Amino acid sequence: MAIRYELIKECKQSGARLGRLHTPHGVIETPIFMPVGTQATVKAMTPEELKDIESQIILSNTYHLYLRPGHKLIEKAGGLHKFMGWDRPILTDSGGFQVFSLGDLRKIREEGVEFRSHIDGSKHFLSPEKAVEIQNSIGSDIMMVLDECPPPDADREYIRNSLKRTTRWAKRCKEAHENTKVQALFGIVQGGMFEDLRRQSASELLELDFPGYAIGGLSVGEPKPLMYEVLDYTVPLLPKHKPRYLMGVGTPDALLEAVIRGMDMFDCVLPTRIARNGTAMTSEGKVIIKNAKHKESFIPLDKECGCYTCKTYTRAYLRHLFKTNEILGLRLMTYHNLYFILHLMKGIRKAISGDRLLDFKKEFYEKYGY
Amino acid sequence: MAIRYELIKECKQSGARLGRLHTPHGVIETPIFMPVGTQATVKAMTPEELKDIESQIILSNTYHLYLRPGHKLIEKAGGLHKFMGWDRPILTDSGGFQVFSLGDLRKIREEGVEFRSHIDGSKHFLSPEKAVEIQNSIGSDIMMVLDECPPPDADREYIRNSLKRTTRWAKRCKEAHENTKVQALFGIVQGGMFEDLRRQSASELLELDFPGYAIGGLSVGEPKPLMYEVLDYTVPLLPKHKPRYLMGVGTPDALLEAVIRGMDMFDCVLPTRIARNGTAMTSEGKVIIKNAKHKESFIPLDKECGCYTCKTYTRAYLRHLFKTNEILGLRLMTYHNLYFILHLMKGIRKAISGDRLLDFKKEFYEKYGY
C-alpha cells in the first residue's frame, strides 16, 4: 500500500480526530490544509517558502497539467515532484471537476467526457482510464478517481444517475491503476444533498475498498449550514481507519466545522486567490489592503501573526505594492494567507490533542468575527 | 560627509579601479551594479533575496515614489529603507530622466519642469529644490541632482544650453540640500557626444565639489562604440578620489567596457526587464526560455551558474512557467539575471585585483558570444 493512515486520537469535545498519514514522500499530520499548485506551482511561492510555512502536502490539477506542459513531459522530467522541485507529498485531482466546469465545452458519455481545451479549443477525451494514466505519469502520492461533481441545482434523478456512474467509473479507475504500491487512489462519495443517495454512494464505494475517501459535490455554492448537514450524515459512513478528504473547502469556519465533524484533509484556491486580489485573512477577520484607511497604517497586516510578511512589512507598504501592481505584493499576501490557514490547522490539531476543539472554535470565532 | 570613496587599487591592464564606498548603510565594493527598485521594490524580489545574491546597493526612482506612494508618506514611514525593509544603501535618481521622457506631457522652464503624471494626468512641478526635498524625504544614501538628459538626436546648440542649465540646476540642488552629513548629492556630467561640451560640463560641476559624479546622457540609443568614445574622454575629467557612476548601463559588454575605462557604479532595468520577458543572460549568451527547443530541456538555465534558479530548476520547467504566465517564472528568471550581473561584477572586481581585467574580458566575450 502506498499510504497508511494512523489514527492518533479522537477529540473528547467533538468528532475531530488527530492522525498521521504515511506516504511515499513523508508523513502528514492531519487534519491538514493542502495549498493548491494548479499548474505545477503554488502561485507566487517557491517550494522552500511552502516549507517555511510548514506546508505538508500540496494539491495539483490533472486537467491543467495534462494540457500544459502535458503529462508525458512530466513523466520524462522524472515526475511532478522532481519537475517542480517539491519533495513532499502531492495529491492530484482527476481532472473531472475542471472538465465538468467547462459547461458547453464538454459532453458526458458512459465511456468518459469529451471536452475542448479552455486554452486553444482543441478536442480531448477524459475517461476513467485516462485520468489514471495521466496521474500515473504525474506520479502524485494520492490520486483521485474520475467522478462527476453535479451542478448544485441538479435534481434528485440527475444526482442518482450521476452517482451510479461515478461508482462505475471508480471501479474502472481502480482496475486501470496498477501502480498501487507507490500511488494511492481515493474514492469520491457523491450524492448531492440527499442523505439516502450519499449513503448509497458511500456503500458502493466502500465495497471497492479504496485506501482513502473524499466527499465531493460540496462547497459548490450551497449555504454552509446545508454543507454541514450533509457532513453530519455522510462522515459517519466513512471508514474510521482511512483518511477523509473534503474537497474544495478553505474558509476558516468551514475548515473548523468539517474537522469537528471528523474530516482530515482539505484543499481550496480561496486563500491564494483572494491574496492575489489583495484580501488578507487575519485574526481580526478580512483585511482589504487597497482600502484608503490602510494608506498610512504602519502596523502589520495581522498583529498576532508570526509570518515573514507580518514580521517585516506594514499595511501601508503592502497597500502601496497592490496600488502599483507590484509582484512582491502578490507574493507577500499569498505567503501570509497560506501561513494563516496552515497555522489555523496547527491550532486545530493542538486543540484536538487537548480535547478542546469546541473551545478553540468559540475563541476563534469571537476574534475572527463569525 | 555622508560618503567616502576609498581607492583600493588600479588595474595594471586597464583603467579599471577597485574601491570601497563607505555609506551610512554600509560599505559597497566597487565596481558595482545596482539593481533597480523603481517603486520601492526590485520587481519580484524580496530584500532577503537581494542579499542572497549579494546586492550591495539598490536604486529607486524619485519620480515614481513621488507619485506613489508620495514622499511624505515614505517620510512618515521612517524613510525608504524602513518602508521597504532594505537596510543596505539606496541611491535615488532625481526624477528628471522620467519627467523628460514624458515628451508632450512636460514643459521645461528655467525654474523647473512642469509635467503631467503618466498615471492620472494630474499636474506637477519638478524643480531642483523639489527634487532635493523629495529625496530628502526618501532618505536615500546617495541623491542625484536634477539634470536634463537631452534626446539622443539633439543638436549641439541644444546640448550646450541644456548642460549650462544642468549646471545652474546642480548649484540650486546643492544649495537646497542641507542634510549633507547623512545623504550625499552627486553631480551629473552632460554634454552629449561632444568632447568640448563634456569638458565644459565636468569643469563647471567640479567647481561645485560634489562627493561623487555621474555621467549622464549615455546609453540612450547611441551605438555602443560612440558611448565608449565619450567615456574615453569624459572619465579622465572626473576626480580620482570620488566615485564615478555611469547611469543606465547594464549589458555585460557595456559594463565591462565602462569599468575598463574607470567607471565604478552602474544601474539599468535591463536585466530585470528582460527576465520578465523570459530572456536569461547566461555564460553562453542569451536564452529565450519560451523557445520550443527548451520544451524538453532538462538542464539548468546556465550550467555554469550557481544561483538558486539554476541549482533547482530545469529549462523545461521555467519554459512551462512562462508559457502558463506563472508568477514564479518571473521570480526565478529575475533572480537568475540579477545574480548573473552581480556575479559578473564580482568576477570583474577579482580580475582588477589580479591585474587581468583585459584577459577576463576576452574570456568572457569568447563564451558569451560578443
**Residue A223, helix vs strand vs coil:** coil
pLDDT of residue A104: 85
pLDDT of residue B122: 95
CB atoms within 10 A of CB B370: 12
Distances (CA, A) of B354 to A299, B27, B32, B348: 49, 21, 17, 10
By the 10 Å C-beta count (0-12 exposed, 13-18 middle, 19+ buried), A366 is classed as: exposed
Render pLDDT for A8-37 as a digit per residue (tens, 0 to 9): 999 999 999 999 999 999 999 999 999 999
To test the contact with chain B by mutation, choose from A49, A138, A317 the residue with the greatest count of B C-beta atoms within 10 A, namely A317
Counting as low any pLDDT under 50, the low residues of chain B are none
pLDDT of residue A56: 98
By the 10 Å C-beta count (0-12 exposed, 13-18 middle, 19+ buried), B110 is classed as: exposed
Nearest to A230 by CA among A238, B364, B232: A238
pLDDT of residue B1: 78
- B321 chain-A contacts, CB cut-off 8 A: 39, 41
Spatial distance between the Cα atoms of B189 and B185, rounded to a whole number of angstroms: 13
Torsion angle of C-alpha atoms B200, B205, B208, B213, degrees rounded to 10: -150
Chain A: nearest CA to B75, how far in angstroms?
11
pLDDT of residue A368: 87
- A69 chain-B contacts, CB cut-off 8 A: 295, 316, 319-320, 323
pLDDT of residue B59: 98
| Grid cell for residue A233 | 450524515
pLDDT of residue B153: 87
pLDDT of residue B152: 82
pLDDT more than 70, % of chain A: 100
* Cis, peptide link before residue A31, omega less than 30° from 0: yes
Query: ipTM strictly over 0.85?
Result: yes
Render pLDDT for A149-168 as a digit per residue (tens, 0 to 9): 888 889 999 999 999 999 99
Q: Which of B68, B69, B327 is facing A327, going by the closest CB pair?
A: B327
**Residue B11, helix vs strand vs coil:** coil
**Residue B91, helix vs strand vs coil:** strand
Chain A residue closest to B326 (CA)?
A: A43
To which residue does cell 517620510 refer?
B75
Chain B: nearest CA to A283, how far in angstroms?
24
pLDDT of residue B85: 98
Q: Is the pTM of this model over 0.95?
A: yes
Query: In sequence order, what are the beta bridge partners of B7?
Result: B19
